[in-house]
Structure 1
Amino acid sequence: MEIPKSWQKVCERILSSPGKVLILGRGSVGKTFFTTYLANEGYKKGLKTGVLDMDIGQSNIGPPTTMGIGILEREINSLYEVPPKEIYFTGAISPAYPFAQKNIFFGLKKLLSKDFNLDLFIVESISYLRDKDFMSMLLSLEMEIISPKYVVIIIKPSDISKNQSVDDYLSEKDTEEGGKIFTISGPEGIKAKTPNKRKRFRIESWLRYLKDGKKYLVDKSWDIWEGEITQLNVACGLMDKNDDYFACGILFGGDEDYYYLFAPQLAREIKKIVVGKREVEKEVVEFCKMAKTEEEKLKVFIAS
Structure 2
Amino acid sequence: MNKAKYTNRVPEDRKEVVEVIRKLKKPVKIMIIGSVDSGKTTLTVFLANELLKEGLRVGIIDSDIGQKGILPPAVISLGFPEEVFTSLDEIKAKKHYFVGTITPNQFFGEMITGVKLLVNEAIKRADVILIDTTGLVHGPGVELKRMKIEVTNPDIIIALQKKDELGNIIQPFEGKIRIFKLKISENVRIHTREERRKIRRDKWKRYFKESHEWEIDLQQINISGTLMFQGTKITEEEKNMLESLFRWIIFHGRKISNKYFVVKANIGNFPRSFDRNTLMACDFENLSNLIVGLIDRKGFCLGLGILKFINFNELKAHLMTPLNKEELEKITEIRLGRIRVREDGEELGLLPREAL
- Within a 5 Å distance, the mapping from 1:31-180 to structure 2 comes to 31-96=40-105, 98=106, 100-114=107-121, 115-130=123-138, 132=139, 134-156=140-162, 159=163, 175-177=174-176, 179-180=177-178
* Greater radius of gyration (CA): 2
- Deviations, residues 136-157 of structure 1 (Å, cap 9, x unaligned): 332332332322221111123x
What's the C-alpha RMSD, in Å, of the aligned pairs? 2.5
In structure 1, C-alpha distance between the alignment counterparts of 2:198 and 2:191, rounded to whole Å: 10
One-letter amino acid of the structure 1 residue matched with residue 135 of structure 2: S
In structure 1, C-alpha distance between the alignment counterparts of 2:323 and 2:33, rounded to whole Å: 35
Secondary structure of residue in 2 paired with 1:20: strand
Between 1:32-41 and 1:259-268, the stretch displaced more is: 259-268
* Equivalent residue number for residue 13 of structure 1: 20
Secondary structure of residue in 1 paired with 2:287: coil
In structure 1, C-alpha distance between the alignment counterparts of 2:154 and 2:69, rounded to whole Å: 22
- Deviations, residues 252-277 of structure 1 (Å, cap 9, x unaligned): 24778543322222424221101112
- Deviations, residues 152-201 of structure 1 (Å, cap 9, x unaligned): 11123xx39xxxxxxxxxxxxx9534x42111112214232212111111
Q: Which runs of 5+ in 1 are unaligned?
A: 161-173, 287-304
Check the 8 A contact 1:252/1:285 in 2, yes or no. no
Return closer, same or farther for 1:225/1:193 CA change in 2, 3 Å cut-off: same
Identical-pair percentage: 27
In structure 2, C-alpha distance between the alignment counterparts of 1:189 and 1:44, rounded to whole Å: 24
* Equivalent residue number for residue 213 of structure 1: 211
| Structure 1 residue 283 displacement after superposition | 2.5
- Within a 5 Å distance, the mapping from 1:247-286 to structure 2 comes to 247-253=303-309, 258-266=316-324, 267=327, 268-281=329-342, 283-284=344-345
In structure 2, C-alpha distance between the alignment counterparts of 1:78 and 1:30, rounded to whole Å: 13
In structure 1, C-alpha distance between the alignment counterparts of 2:290 and 2:214, rounded to whole Å: 15
| Structure 1 residue 204 displacement after superposition | 1.7
In structure 2, C-alpha distance between the alignment counterparts of 1:9 and 1:201, rounded to whole Å: 32
What TM-score, normalized by structure 2, do the two folds share? 0.68
* Equivalent residue number for residue 197 of structure 2: 199
Return closer, same or farther for 1:89/1:58 CA change in 2, 3 Å cut-off: same
| Structure 1 residue 212 displacement after superposition | 3.5
Return closer, same or farther for 1:175/1:28 CA change in 2, 3 Å cut-off: same
* Equivalent residue number for residue 231 of structure 1: 287
Q: Which runs of 5+ in 2 are unaligned?
A: 1-6, 165-172, 229-283, 348-356
Check the 8 A contact 1:86/1:111 in 2, yes or no. yes
In structure 1, C-alpha distance between the alignment counterparts of 2:210 and 2:53, rounded to whole Å: 30
Return closer, same or farther for 1:116/1:254 CA change in 2, 3 Å cut-off: same
In structure 2, C-alpha distance between the alignment counterparts of 1:240 and 1:189, rounded to whole Å: 41
Secondary structure of residue in 2 paired with 1:237: strand
Check the 8 A contact 1:64/1:206 in 2, yes or no. yes
What TM-score, normalized by structure 1, do the two folds share? 0.78
| Structure 1 residue 70 displacement after superposition | 0.7
One-letter amino acid of the structure 2 residue matched with residue 140 of structure 1: R
Secondary structure of residue in 2 paired with 1:122: strand
One-letter amino acid of the structure 2 residue matched with residue 12 of structure 1: E
Aligned residue pairs total 266
* Equivalent residue number for residue 259 of structure 2: none
Secondary structure of residue in 2 paired with 1:11: helix
